[in-house]
Structure 1
């Protein structure tokens, strides 16, 4: 059952604060009992700005969100991508905040920030220590009211390149990256606000100019089209005063009318296709559905779950489990103006998509006879309740929810309505929406096939967008005027931070069972959930003595997610869904992990399922055959992805032949092919032991309560497991450039580095993380500012040390424009060499100390963060005061120490440089660099050598 709905709302029109401010309290919502509600106060300023305040003193942090009700749906034909482009420009300075200063100020305050754009809104947000609230509001207000005079042609051009790089990285250079763009283009009529994607078209980005940008700002970025939501360790009266000060004098912009829903209309099936650099043919069917918040939305969500989500779905039963396709799924996605019911199937190589379409249609039709069961609704409602509760685990989650509800529903408390819609779904509703939107209805049917395999499409293309007529949209850009606020204070002065609240690490308890299992936990009662993380040491490294079976840790973990002695995997999944719980087994380089989440009220039943999963796996042959085939296909698919090729080749070069870290954790085609079901059974029997395991518990439960529920773990038989010792990586005699050809790659992937050292909390490893912060560890680092902000070569560039208990690499990396490949290598190496030679500046040192030192307030907020902190203590055998020791090191470290670390741990002449890109586009420029070039294939094997020129 979902929690009882109840709330207390006070509606008023009283004036708050100074008489001339005219800030009105609209409503106040408080929590009663155990109801699911986010308490808040909502205000309206005289200029139309909406303010929402959520008070929560559980952690010394505050989250500020400014949401503008404008996204790509407000763009004009021929100017797609503008809303997202503008989001980038909002970080490039304003009258009182210099270029790149927004990121720097927030980082310097110990905070984090970003912005996002979708079809319907753009939001900007910061999470900062609560004493930095005024700084966050000052920054947001300055760009709302004082942006345009700081916009320059140079900034415009650099950010245009950055957005184009983002498109290259996330769309053009990513397998299946154009699926959504082509679906939208062909689903909606020409000119419809959803007929293009948020990223936009390159030709449109090339077409726009600075004046277009300024007009977009003037039309949509007024306070009357914005909601400021502040949540966390704050007092509402203080927030109101500050928001009035910084936002109250900004003049209102032109009035903004809500757009009306515009669901797509199709007369017949539209077949479209394109060829991509992929291994698996893909079919995507998209049916028009209504907008978000529509009365049919929840029923369509249930329908999608029954047809194509999880192991109890029709698609899983008919298609995936029988190995007729790699995957098949369904979902109902909604936006402000329309929705889309999407069905996707990933076929095995060389399979014709006409067969895939036939399979999908037969499975969809099966729903008519299968119908909807009580269990279907129970699973959906329990999972929905759990998802809603888990969204409230952080202040940022609660603030984002309030902001979204206000923007699209004019009701921050829409969570109550959402619950009512979920609770109210009936079997009849689900059957009705199936008949109304899916059965016999036309859809857009997109085939994505490997290059040169056009014959695999479902049907020949039969639709072309008609651009001779366009959906009529209002012209919004007449008579726009830039009027700045007139203030009685000096906005150029950055606010002084308030008194910082002392940050304390979570109190925790520890225990050790007789069989060797170590336990660590902490009580956290902000939401009624329990999170558990069981870690079994070893993972991929257990194959070090037998590389011929590499990938077995991954395959064994996958098998534990399947049938048990008493449950089929479908029945097991159903039981979890009815509880709103999850149990997931996975494997990494150094460990196997089991993640458990549960509502507290359902913990006993969830733990009973955990016991079943851990100790009674069935290890069925048909499950093994299916998962092994999927793992082999996944390995083969890596050869289509430049990022995977770059990382895999880089690891092979770093660690050398016969080192376990030179082999991907999922294994190779040869190693996985050799693995048998008996191998998996033996791996499980030999290596899953409490003697090398630890359990982290975070949630609304006491130590006594939880330890009383773990008898099944006390019975876990112990066995001796030996974790292989690390093998020293080969030395690098001199820096060379290794090149892998990826024809037609839109971008090049770059990896630069060497094998450095293992993790330690208070030695050189920790100190090098402080050293690297200025080089490549933050947005305002030298590497990122150079390659992204100054040159426009990339969407993002970074560097860092990656050690665990074992030595890990120092790596500098980026995906860069193809035409800037050689130049990017030059800039990377220039920054590394410069930092090695001359070290850090005093300003960078202070910035690093401020940023890292004040970020502690954000480290222990969510159950996941607490679990990560506690897990680290057990994994590395740390004392609770290690955090204090790190703080002491941070406060005392000098420029001389940082410079010495840079000189020691940045051996620029002894690194590998790996580049994956289109040879015909990039090789000529690479050959002009002063490096020996060794050409490799996608597996890291030599294919030739190119001499230096």
Structure 2
């Protein structure tokens, strides 16, 4: 659905330099400006309903031997009661804890063993569970989903309840409380909606609410909302429809209906006056967010409001970009119109450059002036053209995977009782006129009350737009009292034994996709795949060297050069290029990370020629304009300051420094330090471009609806690219300590600690010790049901997730294990990590673990090359490591023949915990003395700034 094309607002620190706040940008164009609208886009499906009310939607797609199973319950945090927040999200966790015929954690094990992937998600309106598996595993997945729909309650024990309550608290700590800007959505919801409104609390809920409830409260919630009559089962892929229907009836048909569910009333927020709220947070960059209530999803005014948001703040063509970002006042600025089932919000946001802005009041003034400018400017033809192209391209790109199609069908059915609503959505956006956009601006935005949120560094409340005039009423609820009778599930009678797990069919044979190969005279090696599944093309141009070519004394040049390649050219301005690409629905992105500088191109097939004209201009005629450089440099410097507020980023920097030292480029941040970025000049970037943006060591892949002949014709633009030899750096052996140390990185007041346990290991190989060591690690920390994760997350409740693994490239390799853990459990978590790794080194994997690993690795190929980007990933790896087409078959042979004895020898060799360094990012004042019990030297570490 178009609704799903609105990217979720997300805020994260990017290590290179920039703080990314995802903006929503969805709209379409004036019908008058189009001679023809978008062509019909549909997803073929069959829909029916079981006697118990379960809606079933089937989609047949034989392009790959896989299947996606998605069950969506029409319940999210909006169905919770005041003082009972977080139930829906809590139950998302509980649904993975086993049911009557599926043991605790076995759901993960079965899907992993089947070579599949799985997860669940919860938002304010729905909870869904989804699995992508080889098609021979379909019956097994339906059995799993039916068992937790009909036979869950008796398996929900007090112990599981307590454990998952701790896991949810850890998730909140990791994603909300310990993250810069993490409370942004929660605070906005509290201020925008009245107390008790379904959207006035966040999906993850409040810790005090989770502490207040008991296991029977949770069971009641399940009984009320998780019946088949409040669910949609969507199945897509290479299915046999008759067989699938029979399995659906067998496993789901006897599950009784739940209570009848009344439809929630639409409830857009209403504000009588502007509410100012201030949040002092551990941030460097102040943030201003202005939020106004509008309508609700699918309301006739949703589409024109989306167009308005795109005009005001939808990227480099927008007014906010021109008035805030281009002149360096803001690192980011955008407008968005996120919609949910019951209410929508119109948001204007600015992430401020504190070097140029003295207070957020200044940015509010610019926003007000921008709105006046929009009134005078009006809606232009290109505004509508751009958003129409975005709708078309995003819709088509969303159909590249079976999972994408299945999720669209599920969403359409849940919210509109129409699975395939793509064409209807396209038509409503095509119908938007210039007059519609101006009308909704006047009705919902102009001079309207808003929630104005100022997020400022701690101790700097004076930077806020205005003094806070709104205080949320205290959340005083009496504790749960009295005993409650146990809640039992309904008795279900079947004519078969549900305790017997269905067997799988014949495992589909999937190899590396057929590809063609070609070499240009200047050294570029090209691999390509012609696939007709969607009318799209994906191109990846990989220039070897990347950030490794930076000087250790001046890191960040490669990264900034790539950033500059995304800016103006010598022929066109930034805005002109962005507009041309937007009108085509295409993207061209330059990035530099690790060993490669990459150029990514995505385009609809019909627009590829025009897109490549722009690529040629960007690649061969970069602007390196001083004004672009000055702005990017300032943004980078401010972004680096913000990165230092992010505990995960601090841990990443510390790992590099501990492993490689400050004298090598490997030990430095890829995006540079504040000192190195300060010293970088535009001439440094020009020199890097001249020396290393060359075809000598370029690998290229072309995947999509394009023949070899068409691809070679299209890539002629690279044939004249002039070669200029350059050498790649090399690194010697890195010393490994006999006794690892504890490196403590201070994150004052952090409610969680980030733990990283690291050591040097082997470089990449496709069939040797590195490959086999990854197999060896799988039961230890390479899957959800690994020993480490089950211990720290499921048994102890210390973390939201823990893992271990080997990572290797051409020059270096590492073993690492880590997790974000509750601060009070830091030392205990480290002890459990060391205990699990040491025991595994001593005793190794079991035969049962070996068999699980073999099945998981040999059956997951069906999922490995479904989309163009996955196919491209396989090909670029083959080029980068000089692999032939048969290497995957040889890997399978290794997996089938490998023994526990062989893998356990690798565990004994590589998993010596004494030689591992331990990095802890947390509140040093609290942790320093506690860490002494680990009997290691403690080093206070300051990461590069």
- TM class, shorter-chain normalised? over 0.9
Report the counterpart of residue 869 of structure 2 in structure 1. Answer: 864
Taking a change above 3 Å as real, the CA distance of residues 560 and 939 of structure 1, as seen in their structure-2 partners, is closer
Gaps of 5+ in 1: 3-32, 471-476, 941-949
Report the counterpart of residue 520 of structure 1 in structure 2. Answer: 527
The answer as to whether partners of 1:776 and 1:799 remain within 8 angstroms in 2 is yes
Taking a change above 3 Å as real, the CA distance of residues 34 and 361 of structure 1, as seen in their structure-2 partners, is closer
Report the counterpart of residue 336 of structure 1 in structure 2. Answer: 341
Taking a change above 3 Å as real, the CA distance of residues 430 and 522 of structure 1, as seen in their structure-2 partners, is same
Report the counterpart of residue 946 of structure 1 in structure 2. Answer: none
**Using the alignment, how far apart are the partners of 1:785 and 1:548 within structure 2?**
43
**Using the alignment, how far apart are the partners of 2:846 and 2:716 within structure 1?**
56
Report the counterpart of residue 405 of structure 2 in structure 1. Answer: 398
The answer as to whether partners of 1:146 and 1:484 remain within 8 angstroms in 2 is no
What displacement does 1:858 show? 0.5
1:447 to 450, 454, 461: 454
Report the counterpart of residue 319 of structure 1 in structure 2. Answer: 324
Report the counterpart of residue 33 of structure 2 in structure 1. Answer: none
Q: SS of the counterpart of 1:425?
A: coil
| TM-score normalised according to structure 1 size | 0.93
What displacement does 1:47 show? 0.4
Of 427-436 and 918-927, more deviation after overlay is shown by 918-927
1:413 and 2:405 correspond: no
Taking a change above 3 Å as real, the CA distance of residues 303 and 478 of structure 1, as seen in their structure-2 partners, is farther
Q: SS of the counterpart of 1:574?
A: helix
Of 885-894 and 496-505, more deviation after overlay is shown by 496-505
**Using the alignment, how far apart are the partners of 2:642 and 2:123 within structure 1?**
30
Report the counterpart of residue 634 of structure 1 in structure 2. Answer: 639
Alignment of 1:425-574 (within 5 A): 425-466=432-473, 482-543=489-550, 546-574=551-579
**Using the alignment, how far apart are the partners of 1:923 and 1:82 within structure 2?**
37
**Using the alignment, how far apart are the partners of 1:738 and 1:642 within structure 2?**
14
1:736 and 2:741 correspond: yes
Cα RMSD for the two superposed structures: 1.7
Q: SS of the counterpart of 1:267?
A: coil
Q: SS of the counterpart of 1:254?
A: coil
Report the counterpart of residue 14 of structure 1 in structure 2. Answer: none
Cα offsets for 1:819-864 (capped at 9, x unmatched): 1000000011111111111111111111111111111110010111
What displacement does 1:34 show? 7.3
The answer as to whether partners of 1:39 and 1:55 remain within 8 angstroms in 2 is yes
Gaps of 5+ in 2: 3-37, 478-483
Report the counterpart of residue 141 of structure 1 in structure 2. Answer: 146
Of 188-197 and 548-557, more deviation after overlay is shown by 548-557
Taking a change above 3 Å as real, the CA distance of residues 363 and 929 of structure 1, as seen in their structure-2 partners, is same
Report the counterpart of residue 936 of structure 1 in structure 2. Answer: 941
Report the counterpart of residue 812 of structure 1 in structure 2. Answer: 817
Cα offsets for 1:162-213 (capped at 9, x unmatched): 0000000000000000000000011000000000000000100111110111
**Using the alignment, how far apart are the partners of 1:368 and 1:135 within structure 2?**
58
Report the counterpart of residue 49 of structure 2 in structure 1. Answer: 44
What displacement does 1:598 show? 0.4
Q: SS of the counterpart of 2:495?
A: coil
The answer as to whether partners of 1:81 and 1:198 remain within 8 angstroms in 2 is yes
The answer as to whether partners of 2:154 and 2:489 remain within 8 angstroms in 1 is no
Report the counterpart of residue 354 of structure 1 in structure 2. Answer: 361
| TM-score normalised according to structure 2 size | 0.94
1:623 and 2:628 correspond: yes
The answer as to whether partners of 2:659 and 2:760 remain within 8 angstroms in 1 is yes
What displacement does 1:311 show? 0.8
**Using the alignment, how far apart are the partners of 1:425 and 1:166 within structure 2?**
41
**Using the alignment, how far apart are the partners of 1:553 and 1:468 within structure 2?**
51
Alignment of 1:266-345 (within 5 A): 266-345=271-350
2:119 to 106, 114, 123: 114
1:125 to 130, 149, 152: 130
The answer as to whether partners of 1:547 and 1:671 remain within 8 angstroms in 2 is no
**Using the alignment, how far apart are the partners of 1:380 and 1:167 within structure 2?**
35
Report the counterpart of residue 776 of structure 1 in structure 2. Answer: 781
The answer as to whether partners of 1:218 and 1:481 remain within 8 angstroms in 2 is no
The answer as to whether partners of 1:61 and 1:858 remain within 8 angstroms in 2 is yes
The answer as to whether partners of 1:645 and 1:939 remain within 8 angstroms in 2 is no
What displacement does 1:357 show? 1.3
Report the counterpart of residue 23 of structure 1 in structure 2. Answer: none
Cα offsets for 1:716-741 (capped at 9, x unmatched): 01110211112322322311111112
Cα offsets for 1:258-278 (capped at 9, x unmatched): 111100000111000111111
Aligned residue pairs total 901
Cα offsets for 1:475-515 (capped at 9, x unmatched): xx999973132101000000010122221220001111000
1:788 to 793, 796, 800: 793
What displacement does 1:468 show? 10
**Using the alignment, how far apart are the partners of 2:622 and 2:474 within structure 1?**
58
Taking a change above 3 Å as real, the CA distance of residues 550 and 166 of structure 1, as seen in their structure-2 partners, is same
The answer as to whether partners of 2:328 and 2:353 remain within 8 angstroms in 1 is no
Of 450-459 and 183-192, more deviation after overlay is shown by 450-459
The answer as to whether partners of 1:190 and 1:469 remain within 8 angstroms in 2 is no
What displacement does 1:233 show? 0.8
Report the counterpart of residue 684 of structure 1 in structure 2. Answer: 689
**Using the alignment, how far apart are the partners of 1:290 and 1:733 within structure 2?**
64
Q: SS of the counterpart of 2:836?
A: helix
Of 573-582 and 673-682, more deviation after overlay is shown by 673-682
Cα offsets for 1:232-283 (capped at 9, x unmatched): 0101111110000000000000001111110000011100011111101111
**Using the alignment, how far apart are the partners of 2:796 and 2:488 within structure 1?**
33
Q: SS of the counterpart of 1:865?
A: helix
**Using the alignment, how far apart are the partners of 1:298 and 1:729 within structure 2?**
57
The answer as to whether partners of 1:659 and 1:727 remain within 8 angstroms in 2 is no
1:58 and 2:25 correspond: no
Bigger RCO of structures 1 and 2 (CA < 8 A, at least 6 apart): 2
The answer as to whether partners of 2:216 and 2:486 remain within 8 angstroms in 1 is no
